[in-house]
Amino acid sequence: MPTVRGSIRISGDDVCGGSATAYVRVLDVSLADAPSVTVGELVLTNVSIDEVVRHGLEFSLWIDNVEVKERNRYVVSVLIDCDGDADMGTGDYYSKQAYPVFADSSPDYVVVETSRLD
């Protein structure tokens, strides 16, 4: 069973404080002209934003319902939802960069940087 391990970091000084929900997703982004497909998701509730700023947030995500194909391209995407609506919006944190996984050149552990959406 393929597993993605890593840590989530928050960039910047202006943090939402309190607790939030973190959504860690593995996306199949193989098709250039099509939307990505979520192949795995981990939802972490009651995440302390202060703790994420200080120490990061470790995660392990098992992909157990989809066959990971060698020829496909997979990336990790993170949303830290501060307002509780489960959608990306102003004041939430998200990963702007693609973090490839499951490829020969991909790391076994990813550090995902998130930035605040203004």
The phi, psi pair for 54, rounded to 5°, reads: -75, -45
pLDDT in tens, 19-50: 899 999 999 999 989 999 999 999 999 999 88
Count of other CB atoms within 10 angstroms of residue 27: 19
φ/ψ of 12, rounded to 5, equals 100, 170
User: What letter does residue 68 receive in the DSSP assignment?
Assistant: P
**Residues 83, 14, 10, 113, Cα dihedral to 10°:** 100
pLDDT of residue 13: 67
Sequence spans of domains, the chain: 3-108
pLDDT of 14 reads: 65
Residue 108: the pLDDT is 84
Quick one: pLDDT band at residue 16, thresholds 50, 70, 90?
Answer: confident
